[in-house]
Structure 1
Amino acid sequence: MAYYNIDPWGGYRSDIQTAKIEAGITSYTGSLYDILSFNPNPLPAEQIEKRAKAAQIAKLERETQQMAKMFDVA
């Protein structure tokens, strides 16, 4: 059991190992999640969309704050 905590095995683990081998053979430089045979963190479409909107809102708020600092020089 202690060894499993250090180096886990199983379907997902072997899938990651296979993806690493495939990436090495083909000189793939992208994310390993793009070539995994299954999604390790499946989410409903609504939740994916909700997270994307939240990320976009956070980005726009940061940009707005940066722009406000630029014009608040006076």
Structure 2
Amino acid sequence: MRLNEANVNIDNGKLSIETDLLGGNSPFCVVYCGGKAKITTLPDHGETKVITHQGKVKRVKFDEGEEF
């Protein structure tokens, strides 16, 4: 799976995330819903879609490509 559990600390309305799971300076995305957070790196070429249903995150879709 591309999504990894993220250790999240919420203190005074601020979200603190450890990014050591990513390794490097790649762009990343954090998805938070219902007290649970997941983190993933973004593809070099492609789309990452967050699908919601009734106000909650249902799934995250990755559509990747490569330039010819």
TM-score normalized with structure 2 length: 0.21
Higher share of residues assigned strand: 2
| Structure-1-length-normalised TM-score | 0.20
Higher RCO structure (Cα 8 Å, ≥6 apart): 2
Larger radius of gyration: 1
